[in-house]
Chain A
Amino acid sequence: MSQVFDIDFGDRKPAPVVGIDLGTTNSLVAFLDLTGPKVISGEDGERLVPSVVYRSPAGEILVGSPARRMLIDDPARTVYSVKRLMGRGLADVKKEASLFPFRIAPGSESLIRLELGERTFTPPEISAFILVELKRRAEAYLGQPITQAVITVPAYFNDAQRQATKDAGRIAGLEVLRLVNEPTAASLAYGLETRQDGIVAVYDLGGGTFDISILKLHVGIFEVLATNGDTHLGGDDIDDLLLRIGLEDAAHEWGEDLSHDGSFVQTLRRAVIDAKERLSLEPRATIDLEYQGRRYGREITREQFEDLIQDIVDRTIDPCWQCLKAAALTPEQIDEVVLVGGSTRIPMVRQAVESLFRKRPHTELNPDEVVALGAAVQAGILAGHVDDKLLLDVTPLSLGIENMGGVVSKLIHRNSTIPASATGVFTTAVDGQKNVLIHVLQGERELARDCRSLARFDLKDIEPLPAGAPRIEVKFLIDANGILSVTARDQRTGKEQSVEVKPSYGLTDKQVEAMIQESFERAEEDLRERQVREARVEADHILQAVEKAKADQAYLGLGEEERAAIGQAVNELLMVYQSEDHLLVRAHIEKLNQATLHLAELMMNTALKTALKGTKL
């Protein structure tokens, strides 16, 4: 990189592991340096990347703020809140799908596919676009390639949702070293280990999910005692309530049902979110917008707002009690309460938490950033930079297998510390049977049909014997990411038994491989695009620096000729700026760089003199 006025110390550290908060509404990337965890800003200076992906008719992908702008202009090609679809089937999302502008492709029963123009994408692929953007930001900021990451997930995510998140990482070219639960990550960021011992409750109400976790701290060990939540409860639900009011008003005032007008819905959604956010600071706010020459305005008082969202806030309280019960604690025994997620800025939410736990909650850290900061700390732990902290997390849901009559027998109970394992012995029901199918479920209910189907494991090539004679020992292991793996062996022969996994929701391993392959094939095209963009960013950088330098004393000290040379180099760079040939752009950057060498030197001297003068004072 040619950075004129920056000093390159030239020390190359090993590639850092970054921490990523892949949120419903916004995503962030953070890393750990010697002074602590830091969020990485993009070139635009923004720390949050809106979790929005746009695909242009030409096939170009935009992520973040530029994509969010397209929600209004071209909603049918834009996807947001894709996290709500991760690891889910069509039946799970039918209710809310009506408010999403994007279309779900036919045949999405067990794996949702979204239509973005001519192509369809699975939720992990869409999430991968967001991850690629975060990876790019981190690489630009840290100046080295990033290949490993810690990604956070809601504590209450089930196996399929976790697996989908991990798949997204793989598709994005990231080795996911760990999936960390969001509330637990937040507790790491808060540095609560200054307390030698204590009980902490983390209340995390984000854009799309709600989690409550209760942890016990003991000299650097963060032991999760219990967790509970709702993977479909968050700020989005509040937006939807306000959105419905706006749509009704519009239908009433304008005599027109605009709920199928994607562009209007998105304009309204922006206005509604603005009003919601203002209501956290002010006693009243107006949902205010202009659409195709028509104006809509509706004032909402905080009181009305609170009436409206009462039900949503109430829905967070029961999981809190469940969690306390599972941890065998009363609210009085909680020493600290931490708030996480943008929706905890709402005063009514804070009051609800405070009156439940009878404690003023911690709000020192930005609730939008605290999860990413914690992920960076966990990344530091995995990279070996932090060795005094250790997270012991739990599985949020019980794991069981379907028995005769559709009854579930539980093998690993919820709130068990992970990794956790259980062993079962299986046999055949018919003479000579060669396969045994094991149906694994997640959930608390007694009947298989009320639990979440996770996968079917097919024990294959069993030695043909009389019914009941084979004894296949199956080991179920939930790893530290909360993801299940299964191994089996024949107890009589001690031989490893082959197991074929058929996930009930989400991608098979083969499908993920195919997606990675495809992304390699497209990588060449992507790389070119990326190089062009990077060259332009660099050009911006140097052009701005030169512009700024013109006001400096040193510039006036340059000769006529030198100033002319700089002017010409600037003009030439501007002329090639839009070129698709990144090498050409780079050549002109270098030319400008050369032309300004003397200027840089003079400026450095002036800076030094000023600094020296400063020391005399």
Chain B
Amino acid sequence: MSAPDYFAFFGLEPKLSIDAAGLEERFYRLSRELHPDRFSRAAPDERAQAEQAAATLNDAYRTLRDPIARAEYFLRREGFEAPDGRKPPANLLEQVFETSQALEDLRGGDESARARLEEARVRMRVALTEGDARLRVLFEDYDRLGDRASLAGIRAWLDRRKYLGNLLVQIESEPARP
């Protein structure tokens, strides 16, 4: 009873780019068929099955509608390891060090670090936004050409963006000026 393929569940070709409106339309249609509300007077067995099917539908929709979750799922299907975001991206190494230093200084009571931190935050946000824009292009390229090397590139970026995301959470959860 392994989990069904999410793309197949929605009757879609496995692709990295997806038409969001079309996916939503299918989600609503399938919800009307599969939601446990429709089975409240069914036998317990059938009810449990409906609960499972609806859970799969919701899990699948949640995964496919989010580009990042969708790409991660796609990569796993293709046999890639899940991005873990443990290693800092090589091209941003310097900025990562600066940011860590600024965070440490600020926590040590050095208010002047706040400006440096804000600068780093903006830079990282921009890097994320630009990276995600590039990601969309990579998605389309892969869908067109099916070139496995570009999948490796996508995975590398997902890994990097995970690291950046974690770092941003740290910066943004730093309490504002007392």
Q: Which residues of A contact B (CB under 8 A)?
A: 177-178, 218-219, 221, 223, 381-384, 390-392, 416-423, 477-480, 489
Contacts and interface: CB of A to CB of B under 8 A. Distances in A.
B40 A421 contact: no
Nearest to B35: A390
Contacts of B36: 419, 479-480
B51 A423 contact: no
A480 B3 contact: no
Contacts of A423: 3
Nearest to A494: B1
A178 B39 CA distance: 12
B54 interface: yes
Nearest to A388: B32
A391 B37 CA distance: 9
A415 to B, nearest CB: 10
Contacts of B37: 178, 381-382, 390-391, 480
Given A419-B36, A479-B36, A392 B59 contact: no
A528 B41 CA distance: 33
Nearest to B24: A218
Nearest to A417: B58
A422 B69 CA distance: 14
Nearest to A381: B37
A477 B51 contact: yes
Interface in B34-51: 35-37, 40-41, 51
A419 B55 contact: yes
A178 B40 CA distance: 9
Interface residues of B, number: 19
15 contacts: A218-B28, A382-B37, A382-B41, A383-B41, A390-B31, A419-B51, A419-B58, A420-B59, A421-B52, A421-B55, A477-B52, A479-B51, A480-B35, A480-B36, A489-B1
B32 A390 contact: yes
Given A423-B3, A479-B36, A480-B35, A221 B58 contact: no
Nearest to A422: B59
Contacts of B56: 421
A221 B54 CA distance: 15
Contacts of B58: 416-420
Contacts of A478: 55
Nearest to A218: B28
A416 B66 CA distance: 12
B82 to A, nearest CB: 13
B22 to A, nearest CB: 14
Contacts of B55: 418-421, 477-478
Interface of B: 1, 3, 28, 31-32, 35-37, 40-41, 51-52, 54-56, 58-59, 61-62
Contacts of A418: 55, 58
Contacts of B31: 221, 390, 392
Given A178-B40, A221-B31, A384-B41, A417 B51 contact: no
Contact of B62 (A178, A219, A381, A417): A417
A177 B37 CA distance: 9
B62 A416 contact: yes
A178 B36 CA distance: 10
Nearest to B32: A390
A419 B62 contact: no
A221 B36 CA distance: 14
A589 to B, nearest CB: 38
Nearest to A423: B3
For the complex of A and B, 3 pairs with smallest distance between CB atoms: A419-B55, A421-B55, A382-B40
Contact of B59 (A177, A178, A421, A479): A421
A347 to B, nearest CB: 32
Contact of A392 (B35, B40, B41, B52): B35
Residue from B32, B56, B58, B62 having most chain A Cβ neighbours under 10 A: B58
Residue from A178, A390, A422 having most chain B Cβ neighbours under 10 A: A390
Contacts of B54: 419, 480
A410 B59 CA distance: 14
Contacts of A419: 36, 51-52, 54-55, 58
A223 to B, nearest CB: 8
Residue from A219, A382, A419, A477 having most chain B Cβ neighbours under 10 A: A419
B51 A480 contact: yes
Given A419-B51, A480-B37, A221 B61 contact: no
Contacts of A479: 36, 51
A391 B40 CA distance: 14
Given A177-B40, A420-B58, A420-B59, A221 B51 contact: no
Contacts of A383: 40-41
A421 B48 CA distance: 13
A178 B56 CA distance: 20
Contacts of A381: 37
Contacts of B35: 390, 392, 480
Contacts of B52: 419, 421, 477
Nearest to B50: A419
B84 to A, nearest CB: 12
A388 to B, nearest CB: 10
A419 B57 CA distance: 9
A221 B3 contact: no
Nearest to B62: A416
Contacts of B32: 221, 390
Given A390-B37, A419-B52, 11 more contacts: A221-B28, A382-B37, A382-B40, A382-B41, A390-B32, A417-B58, A418-B58, A419-B51, A420-B59, A477-B52, A478-B55
Contacts of A384: 40-41
Contacts of B62: 416-417, 420
Nearest to B36: A480
B35 to A, nearest CB: 6
A482 B58 CA distance: 14
A417 B40 contact: no
Nearest to A421: B55
A479 B54 CA distance: 9
Contacts of A390: 31-32, 35, 37
